[in-house]
């Protein structure tokens, strides 16, 4: 197994290249296009979210960035190094936290980190010092000698994080980091990520299918079926929708289609039919609702007026809901593929 020399994140920042850069990145699995011409950059001191429903291409992109898979087209660069052409240089600069557990339950926290450090060519005093540092970061220094199996799920995830940071990476990649964590542990995790961003200048990329998690990110790329459908801060994306989101509930999909047509004819309002409801963006939602109910008595069975959410951004850009009828269980083998990915990464080191 080859080891790679660690590099300080300061060195990477000095190179001037963005921590992460995608340039018309594409990936196909046979005839299936999983990623289509993605181009964006992630800056230092930024928590960047990759938000998309299942099947949108998050795992594929995560695997490409963590050097486990070559893209079919375009380029992905970490601190200026192409993931395909210079994988060793890339691996020295990224910390990866997979969804599946990668730490050994039968070892202590410190032993796990010791092994991780050895993989990156660290040893002796510098490694011991670094272990103390990363455990301080995740507030687990007092648990260094404890067996991992005795820690809570949230603490184990923090050990994963410490492991991903052992070689002082400039870029931290986390796949669905909140999975399996209770609300308190989630909050703590996000606090650690912000500390890494603010105090260590790390660029953090998080994949997620959770809107609430995406809200915590500084910027987001929203993916749908492998395409970038929105890019910006959560606030900016939401305010790109003019005004309120009005949902008018009817008896069924056919009635919703009919109402959509009538709303256009009567008010010039462009609605989107989602199941049995019609969704309309309107600058003055409450006024519009009153007019619509008066104009079409007996047609509207229920209604809501809300401020735009990230899901509304998704609907506006794609014309459908974030979760389609098939739901999250549509990709049953996702975790298995994730487990394989983690094994592959260990091998690659």
The 330-349 site mask, x for binding ligand ADP (CB under 6 A), equals -x--x--x------------
DSSP annotation of 70:
-
Residue whose CB is less far from ligand ADP, 262 or 337: 337
DSSP string, 88-146: HHHHHHEEEE-SS--S-TTSBHHHHHHHHHHHTT--HHHHHHHHHHHHHHTT-GGGTTS
- In angstroms, rounded to a whole number, what is the distance separating the alpha carbons of residues 159 and 181? 14
Among 12, 34, 173, 300, binds ligand ADP (CB under 6 A): 34
CB-based burial of residue 55 (10 Å sphere; 0-12 exposed, 13-18 middle, 19+ buried)?
Answer: buried
The answer to the question of residue 29 lying near ligand ADP (CB under 6 A) is: yes
Closest residue to ligand ADP, based on beta-carbon distance: 59
The 35-74 site mask, x for binding ligand ADP (CB under 6 A), equals -----------------x-xxxxxxx--------------
- In angstroms, rounded to a whole number, what is the distance separating the alpha carbons of residues 205 and 213? 12
Distance of CA 234 to the CA centre of its chain: 13
Residue whose CB is less far from ligand ADP, 98 or 288: 98
What burial letters (b/e) apply to 189-223, b meaning 16+ CB within 10 Å? Answer: bbebbeebbeebbbbbbbbbbeeebbbbbbbbbbb
Among 24, 32, 153, 199, binds ligand ADP (CB under 6 A): 32
The 293-332 site mask, x for binding ligand ADP (CB under 6 A), equals --------------------------------------x-
Tell me how far, at minimum, the Cβ of 164 lies from ligand ADP, in Å: 19
Residue whose CB is less far from ligand ADP, 69 or 140: 69
Binding region for ligand ADP (CB under 6 A): 29, 32, 34, 52, 54-60, 331, 334, 337
């Amino acid at each position: 197994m080859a080891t790679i020399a660690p590099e300080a994140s300061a060195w990477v920042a000095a190179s001037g290249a963005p921590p992460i850069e995608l340039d018309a990145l594409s990936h196909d699995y046979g005839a299936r296009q999983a990623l289509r011409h993605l181009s964006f950059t992630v800056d230092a001191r930024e928590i960047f979210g990759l938000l998309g429903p299942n099947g949108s291409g998050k795992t594929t992109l995560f695997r490409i960035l963590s050097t486990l898979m070559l893209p079919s087209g375009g380029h992905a660069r970490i601190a200026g190094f192409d993931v395909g052409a210079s994988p060793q240089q890339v691996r020295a600069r990224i910390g990866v936290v997979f969804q599946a557990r990668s730490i050994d339950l039968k070892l202590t926290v410190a032993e796990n980190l010791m092994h991780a450090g050895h993989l990156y060519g660290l040893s002796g005093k510098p490694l011991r010092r670094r272990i103390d540092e990363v455990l301080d970061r995740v507030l687990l220094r007092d648990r260094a000698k404890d067996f991992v199996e005795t820690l809570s799920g949230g603490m184990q995830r923090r050990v994963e994080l410490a492991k991903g940071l052992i070689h002082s990476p400039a870029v931290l990649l986390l796949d669905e980091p909140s999975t399996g964590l209770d609300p308190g542990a989630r909050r703590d995790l996000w606090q650690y990520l912000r500390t890494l961003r603010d105090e260590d200048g790390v660029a953090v990329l998080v994949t997620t299918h959770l809107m609430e998690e995406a809200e915590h990110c500084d910027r987001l790329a929203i993916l749908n079926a492998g395409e970038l459908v929105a890019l910006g801060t959560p606030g900016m994306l939401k305010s790109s929708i003019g005004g309120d989101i009005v949902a008018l509930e009817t008896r069924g999909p056919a009635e919703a289609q009919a109402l959509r047509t009538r709303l256009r004819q009567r008010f010039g309002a462009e609605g989107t039919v989602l199941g049995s409801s019609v969704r309309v963006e309107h600058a003055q939602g409450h006024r519009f609702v009153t007019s619509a109910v008066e104009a079409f008595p007996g047609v509207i069975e229920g209604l809501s007026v809300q401020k735009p959410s990230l899901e509304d951004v998704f609907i506006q850009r794609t014309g459908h809901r974030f979760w389609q009828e098939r739901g999250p269980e549509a990709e049953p083998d996702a975790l298995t593929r994730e487990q394989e990915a983690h094994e592959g990464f260990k091998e690659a080191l």
